[in-house]
Amino acid sequence: MPSYPQYLGAAEAARRVAGVTHVGNHLEVVLPPNDRRDDALLTTAANNALAASATAPEGVQATAKNGNLTLTGAVKYLSERAAAESAVSGLTGVRNIKDEIQLVFDVDPADVNRRVREALGRNRVPPDDARVVARASGNTVMLGGRIRTRAQRDAVVAAAWRGHAVEFVIDELDITG
């Protein structure tokens, strides 16, 4: 194959064949001499293409070695990874793209607060003056406020841990009971 877009096209054409369930693309891109770029030029072109793209996410970086691009950074959605690859795949001099972009997920504060309210609702016998605030930053949930019992505290902390993408829970709850 003389270009990376042709390499991708060959794999896509194979996937469209009736009965094909898996395609292992072992083709190699062999660039014509006029299409080769040194690593510094290709790295610069790739990073410029990422910056100019309306759909590629900020924070993704490209480095080149022998025509092979490596993309690094962090994104929230798979579509952002695809957009970054798309932004650089048509560049002259690209032989292959290695995607090392990490997927990161932030905590959904509404989800954590709903779980905390439900936990408090299950543990209010008799009704009391428990007030809990759950704040989310990145993958961290910070719990503050007052609760009456250790059982309520345990339920609220467990509920916070069950939130989507929670990696850390900071317990600043005051037990008043």
Q: Pick from 96, 104, 103: which is nearest to 46 by CA?
A: 96
pLDDT at 72: 97
CATH tag for 109-175 (out of 3.30.930.10, 3.30.70.3340, 3.30.1340.30, 2.40.10.10): 3.30.1340.30
41-51 pLDDT tens trace:
999 999 999 99
pLDDT at 71: 98
The mean pLDDT of 163-167, rounded to a whole number, is 80
Burial 23-46 (b: 16+ CB within 10 A, else e): eeeeeebebeeebebeeeebbebb
The mean pLDDT of 32-49, rounded to a whole number, is 95
Which two three-digit tokens encode residue 79? 């579509």
Domain boundaries of the chain, sorted by first residue: 4-103, 109-175
- CATH no. of 4-103: 3.30.300
pLDDT at 65: 97
92-146 pLDDT tens trace:
999 999 999 988 877 788 888 888 888 888 876 566 677 888 888 888 899 999 8
The per-residue pLDDT of the chain, averaged, comes to 89
10-19 pLDDT tens trace:
989 998 999 8
Please give the Cα distance from 173 to 162 (Å, whole number): 18
pLDDT at 75: 87
